[in-house]
Amino acid sequence: MKSYTIQDKPFVVPTTDGKVIKEHFGNATSGTSDLSIAHMVAPPGWSEPFQTPEFDEYTFIFSGKKQFIVDGETLVLKAGQSIKINKNTRVQYSNPFSEPCEYLAICLPAFAMDLVHREE
């Protein structure tokens, strides 16, 4: 048995908002519930509803900018910056800018729809 796993066929999460989500490790790809790692591209004008997830989320920005509203405070991160949002924190993610934002998201435990608690 190998002591490593190479992932070259990530699960492409179906979306209706133009966002590209490729999960490399996590519930959908490997059945791993302790961690998820996803490569994402958010198009200009993209946004999600506010949510209060039951997981820590780390985000690293490769290119473009991404807006975070965290407990009412608006933050904008750009390429080369990263952030950790603690679990049970109310947050909204968006890209109100004119260029796509490419980033990596790591969730501990893994992202799951029943843990994200998106607002209507």
pLDDT in tens, 38-74: 999 999 999 999 999 999 999 999 999 999 999 999 9
5 part of a folded domain: no
46 part of a folded domain: yes
What's the residue count for the chain? Answer: 120
59 part of a folded domain: yes
Confidence of residue 19 (pLDDT cuts 50, 70, 90): very high
The tokens for 5 are 């796993």
Confidence of residue 1 (pLDDT cuts 50, 70, 90): confident
* Mean pLDDT for the stretch of residues 13-18: 94
25 part of a folded domain: yes
Tell me the residue range of the domain where 21 lies.
Answer: 13-116
56 part of a folded domain: yes
84 part of a folded domain: yes
Domain count, the chain: 1
Q: CB-based contacts of 91: which residues, under 8 Å, 6+ apart?
A: 50, 51, 52, 53, 57, 68, 69, 70, 71, 85
1 part of a folded domain: no
What CATH number is associated with residue 61? 2.60.120.10
3 part of a folded domain: no
pTM (2 d.p.): 0.95
Confidence of residue 110 (pLDDT cuts 50, 70, 90): very high
Confidence of residue 35 (pLDDT cuts 50, 70, 90): very high
Beta strands in the chain (DSSP E): 11-13, 20-25, 36-42, 46-47, 56-63, 65-70, 73-78, 82-85, 91-95, 101-108
